[in-house]
Structure 1
Amino acid sequence: MPTIERTVHSPAPVGTVQAYLRDFTNAEEWDAGTVSCEPVDDGPIAIGKQWRNVSEFRGRETTLIYTLERDEPGHLRIVGRNKTVTSEDDMVLTADGPGTTLTYTATFTFHGVAKLATPLLVPALGNLGDEAQKTLQEALGKLPVS
C-alpha cells in the first residue's frame, strides 16, 4: 500500500480551509492530477456525499467515485474507488497561529492485476504527491484569511 504524506500551510483559518477541502469539486484547483470533479447528486455536502473524479496518472485518465467518509472538526477523509484502485485521502488540519497547517496523507490500494505493478508505481505516486503539494499550497494560499 503506497502512502504519500505532505504538509502545507495556509494563512486562512482552519474552518475556511476545511470548508474548501470538504467540497471535493475544488480538487480541480488543488489536485494536480484532477481533470474534472463533479458531484454525483445535488444533495448537501455531508458524510456519504459522492463525487465523480477524472484524474490523469501516467498519461492515462481514470475515473474514481469519491465519498466523504469522515467530516469532523480538523479531520476529513475522502475515499475514491474504482475496480483498479482505492485512494484514501486523509486530511488533518491544525491551527498554526491565525492560519492552518494541513497534513495530507494519500494511501493507494491497488486491486487485481494492478496490484502486481504496485512497486513500479511508487516513484510515479511520489511525483504526483510533489505536484499535488505545490498546487495545494497555491490554492490554500489564495483562501480568505478572515
Structure 2
Amino acid sequence: MPTIEESVVIDAPQEEIYDYLLDPTHLPEFSGSIINAELEGPGPAQVGSRFRGTTKVLGRAIDWVAEVTEHERPRRQSIRSVESKVDFTGTYTLEPEGSGTRVTYRLETSQGLGGVFGSLADALVNKTYARQVRADLATLAEIFTEHRESSTG
C-alpha cells in the first residue's frame, strides 16, 4: 500500500488546528490539490460523517466521497474513501511539540496514486503528491501564523 507521510510544527494549540481540519470546507484554503470539499448532512463532523470533494492530480479531477473513521479530538482524525477512482485513507495526527503542535498527515492508497493514469505513473505521481502535501502543510502553518499575527497586532 503506497504511503505518503509529511509533518510540520505549527505555533498554535492542538484544539484550534484540529477543529479547523475537521471542517472540510477549509481543505481548499490550504491544499493546492483540493478543488472543493464539503460535509454531507448536518455538522459538526463525527465518526460516520461523510465528506464529498474533488481533488486534482496531475491536471485530472477526481471526485470522491470519504467517511470519517476516527475522531479523537484533539489528537487524531481519519477519513477513508467510500466512492473514488482511488481508494485512500487520510489521517491527521496532532501532537504537542514545544509551544506548538506537530501536525502529521499520512495518506495511504491501495493501488498508488498513479492508478488512474496507469501503474507506470505511480512513482511520478506519488513523488509529485508528496511535494504537494509538504506545500499544503506549509500553507496550513502560514494560515495559523497569519491568524496569530492579526489577532495580536
Distance of 2:110 and 2:85 partners within structure 1: 9
User: With structure 2 as the length reference, what TM-score do the two structures score?
Assistant: 0.82
Q: Identify the residue that residue 79 of structure 2 maps to in structure 1.
A: 78
C-alpha distance in 2 between matches for 1:140 and 1:68 = 23
Which one has a larger percent helix, Structure 1 or Structure 2? 2
Runs of 4+ in 1 over 4 A off after TM superposition: none
Q: Which shifted more, 22-31 or 52-61?
A: 22-31
Matches within 5 A, 1:102-121: 102-110=103-111, 114=115, 117-121=118-122
CA shift at 1:2, angstroms? 1.2
Match of 1:39 in 2: 39
Q: Which has the higher contact order (CA 8 A, sep 6+)?
A: 1
TM-fit CA distance, 1:87? 1.3
Any stretches of 5+ residues in structure 2 without a counterpart? none
RMSD (Å) for aligned C-alpha atoms:
2.3
Aligned length in residues: 144
Q: Secondary structure at the match of 2:87?
A: strand
Residue in structure 2 matched with residue 138 of structure 1 by the alignment:
139
Q: TM-score, normalised by structure 1?
A: 0.86
Shift of 1:96: 1.0
Deviates more, 1:92-101 or 1:126-135: 126-135
